[in-house]
Amino acid sequence: MENGFNAVWEDTQVEIGTSADTSTPPVWTYSKLCKGIKGIQVNINENVVTEQYLCGEGHAHNEVTGMAPQIQVTGDRVEGDAAQDFIAGLQFKLGSERVTSVKVTTGGKVITCEAVVTDIVTFGGNSAELKPFNCNIRFNGKPSITDAPSQ
């Protein structure tokens, strides 16, 4: 953009692994999370250790020692959309049946990571409203970050 700003839809794409082959590690087939999706919010959930050292003269020293990234997804349920249907199918499953992969393309980078989908909402609300679609995509482990292919 000329002014340096980008709308979220211009710069960010979230994809969910909807199927994988049987290799180790698996190779995922991804589907875009976009139809019916109104918002995504990334929470890094950092673990911060704060220490007070003498040389800080009363001021804190902070170290980020860990993190648990997640992406909160909010929107309206679109039945027939591959990404939403896959996530909706996980709603009443447990354990390893919830494991997938997430791929985020943003800021010229591609971030991929094994993930678990939690807090899935695919129905409810008032009679004159659209069905909701909400979930959290929680990273499992350290993500891989690479440069996005040039277009």
pTM here is 0.90
Mean pLDDT of the chain: 94
Q: Tokens 């609300």 — which residue?
A: 125
DSSP state, 79?
Answer: T
Virtual torsion, Cα 49, 52, 53, 58, nearest 10 deg: 150
Closest by Cα among 16, 4, 8, 12 to 88: 16
Q: Which two tokens stand for residue 137?
A: 């995509």
Alpha carbon separation from 132 to 3, 23, 122, 126 (Å, rounded): 34, 35, 6, 10
Please write the tens of the pLDDT for every residue from 15-59: 999 999 999 889 999 999 999 999 999 999 999 999 999 999 999
Neighbours of 43 (CB within 10 A): 13
Give the integer Cα–Cα distance in Å for 97 and 47.
28
The pLDDT of residue 9: 78
Give the integer Cα–Cα distance in Å for 113 and 9.
21
Please write the tens of the pLDDT for every residue from 85-97: 999 999 999 999 9
Please write the tens of the pLDDT for every residue from 103-113: 999 989 999 99
Give the integer Cα–Cα distance in Å for 149 and 6.
19
Residue 8 has pLDDT above 80, yes or no: no
Phi, psi (5° rounding) for residue 27? Answer: -100, 120
Residue 147 has pLDDT above 70, yes or no: yes
Give the integer Cα–Cα distance in Å for 100 and 84.
13
Q: Which residues contact 93 (CB under 8 A, 6 or more apart)?
A: none
Please write the tens of the pLDDT for every residue from 49-104: 999 999 999 999 999 999 999 999 999 999 999 999 999 999 999 999 999 999 99
